[in-house]
Amino acid sequence: MKQRTALMSLLVMLFAIVPVLAQQGPPPSGPMPLEFVLRAIDLTPAQRAQLEPLMRARHDAAEAARPAAEAAGHALADQVQAGAFDEEAIRAAAAAVAALDADRLVAEAALLRDIRALLAPGQREKFDRLLGPPPNPMAMRPRR
Domain containing residue 36:
31-132
| Counted domains in the chain | 1
For residue 143, tell me if it sits in a domain.
no
Is residue 54's pLDDT more than 80?
Answer: yes
For residue 23, tell me if it sits in a domain.
no
For residue 46, tell me if it sits in a domain.
yes
pLDDT at position 27? 47
Q: What CATH code is carried by the domain that includes residue 112?
A: 1.20.120.1490
Side chain identity at 108, as an amino acid letter?
A: E
Neighbours of 49 (CB within 10 A): 10
Summarised one tens digit per residue, pLDDT across range 61-111 is 999 999 999 999 999 999 999 999 999 999 999 999 999 999 999 999 999
For residue 84, tell me if it sits in a domain.
yes
For residue 11, tell me if it sits in a domain.
no
Instruction: Report which of residues 133 and 142 the model is more confident about.
Output: 133
Summarised one tens digit per residue, pLDDT across range 122-140 is 999 999 999 887 666 666 5
Q: What percent of the chain has pLDDT over 90?
A: 66
Question: Which residues, 6 or more positions from 34, have their beta carbon under 8 angstroms from its beta carbon?
Answer: 131
For residue 58, tell me if it sits in a domain.
yes
- DSSP assignment, residue 133? S
Whether 43 contacts 123, CB under 8 Å: yes
pLDDT at position 28? 52
pTM: 0.68
